[in-house]
Amino acid sequence: MSDRPTELKYSTTHEWVRIEGDEATVGITDFAVEHLGDLVFVDLPDVGASIDVDETGAEVESVKAVGEVHSPVGGEVTAVNEGLADDQGPLASDPFGEGWLYKLKVSDVSDALMDLDAYETQLESESV
């Protein structure tokens, strides 16, 4: 059994979303962080920006790659995790908590979101 939260929804591109009422918190999974490697920079959206479902909401840069964060929900950005600009450590140490990227007032939700069991089944098929 993994340490991934069961209450979250997951995308095929390794983002997670916690939806509470009309607010959603978005981040990347431990799998994404592990595959990116040593993180060096995070580019977050501006508060007040509109992001559509599957649009790039943020970018996470490592020493070996730049990962686009495809937003699993659409809406208006209400908050960003500003601390990640100076310290990307929480992304690696606590990707489902302190490592969140941004929050949105939700206007649209992807039809393709998965529960934890479906996401872990996808991970098993990717690692074959």
Fold held by 9-113: OB fold (Dihydrolipoamide Acetyltransferase, E2P) (2.40.50)
Residue 88 confidence (pLDDT) above 80: yes
Averaged pLDDT of the chain: 94
Residue 55 near residue 75, CB atoms below 8 Å? no
Percent of the chain with pLDDT over 70: 98
Nearest residue to 56 via CA among 42, 45, 40, 64: 45
Mean pLDDT of 39-52: 97
Residue boundaries of the structural domains of the chain: 9-113
Across the range 90-119, mean pLDDT stands at 96
The arithmetic mean of pLDDT across residues 95-108, rounded, is 97
Mean pLDDT of all residues in 27-32: 96
